Amino acid sequence: MGLLPLGDDIPRRYIGQPAVTWLIVGLCVIVFVYQLSLGEMGFTRSLYGYGLIPSVLLGGDRLSPDLARVPAWLTLFTSQFLHGSWMHLIGNMLFLWIFGDNIEDSMGHLRFAVFYLLCGALAGLAFAASGPSVEAPTVGASGAIAAVLGAYIVLHPRARILVLIGFWPLRMPAYLVLGIWILFQVLNAVYAQPDEAEVAFVAHVAGFFLGAILVYFFKREDVPMMSPETHHALRISGIPMRRPGERGPWGSA
């Protein structure tokens, strides 16, 4: 979408450290490094063995015994921890690192873990249902992360997000940053064919709206919806770009 998020300004209030967010990031990195260690053929086999294949999940196809690793339904979960490239992994983990801790903070560790895995599985199921004849494996955490973004825009619509547009840092409200993101996903989901698109846009859209709805049932009772943070939400930033209490991928305050 042309907007690279670098950090936000929402402090955690209920948990010490976002342990589940860190655990998911760590597992995704470890799994991807393991995929690379298998060599080119082994890497491809891992995508077919643990990735979500719509035609196998819903279309009646079967993988050959030398490729099948887990039951088809379980790939709704295993696929969330695989990635197809370093850029795929880094992009997903950047979004999760920036936005995941606040959603974990609003839910608590266990409920966040359930929310993340459930939304990721349902987003994958929505993608499979949109193209049950697709034979290529789909992998990545983006469906679950889209749910995190959907929850974030509901809980913190006016939070400041530090984004990079080209080489230009800019502070923008979350509703604008994430609104642009989901609009891009919807447009691509409408016009891209599931069997031709390299990105599972339907999973992104489904995950986003699932997260926006289910956050109400998973958040702590004392966490308000549509929190009124403003903090001069739209303005150009200079260097240094961080302020006390602001977090980004380089550390936590």
Total domain count for the chain? 1
Q: What is the model's pLDDT at position 232?
A: 42
231 belongs to a structural domain: yes
Instruction: Give the confidence band of 229 by pLDDT, cuts at 50, 70, 90.
Output: low
59 belongs to a structural domain: yes
Domain limits at 117? 4-236
242 belongs to a structural domain: no
Mean of all residue pLDDT scores within the chain: 87
Write the Ramachandran bin of 220: left for phi over 0, alpha for psi from -120 to 50, otherwise beta: beta
Closest CA to 243 of 159, 148, 118, 157: 159
Q: What is the 3-state secondary structure (H, E, C) of 16-83?
A: CCCHHHHHHHHHHHHHHHHHHHCHHHHHHHHHHHHCECHHHHCCCCCCCCCCCCCCHHHHHHHHHHCC
What is this structure's pTM?
0.87
CA dist 163 and 161 (Å) reads 6
* Paired tokens of 211: 């997260």
Q: What is the DSSP secondary structure assignment for residue 196, as one 8-state letter?
A: T
Query: Mind listing the pLDDT tens digit for each residue in 34-85?
Result: 999 999 999 999 999 999 999 999 988 888 888 888 999 999 999 999 999 9
249 belongs to a structural domain: no
What is the CATH classification number for the domain harbouring 89? Answer: 1.20.1540.10
Q: What is the model's pLDDT at position 166?
A: 79
Sign of the dihedral through C-alpha 169, 171, 177, 178: positive
Give me the DSSP letters along 126-179.
Answer: HHHHH-TT--S-B--SHHHHHHHHHHHHHH-TT-EEEEEETTEEEEEEHHHHHH
172 belongs to a structural domain: yes
Closest CA to 99 of 211, 194, 192, 237: 211
Residue keyed to tokens 């080119």: 40
Specify which residues 8 forms β-bridges with: 161, 247
Query: Mind listing the pLDDT tens digit for each residue in 146-175?
Result: 999 999 999 999 999 999 987 889 999 999
56 belongs to a structural domain: yes
148 belongs to a structural domain: yes
Query: Mind listing the pLDDT tens digit for each residue in 109-127?
Result: 999 999 999 999 999 999 9
pLDDT at 194 over 80: no
* Paired tokens of 67: 């490729």
User: Per residue in 201-227, is it b (16+ CB within 10 Å) or e — as a string?
Assistant: bbbbbbbbbbbbebbeebbeeebeeee
117 belongs to a structural domain: yes
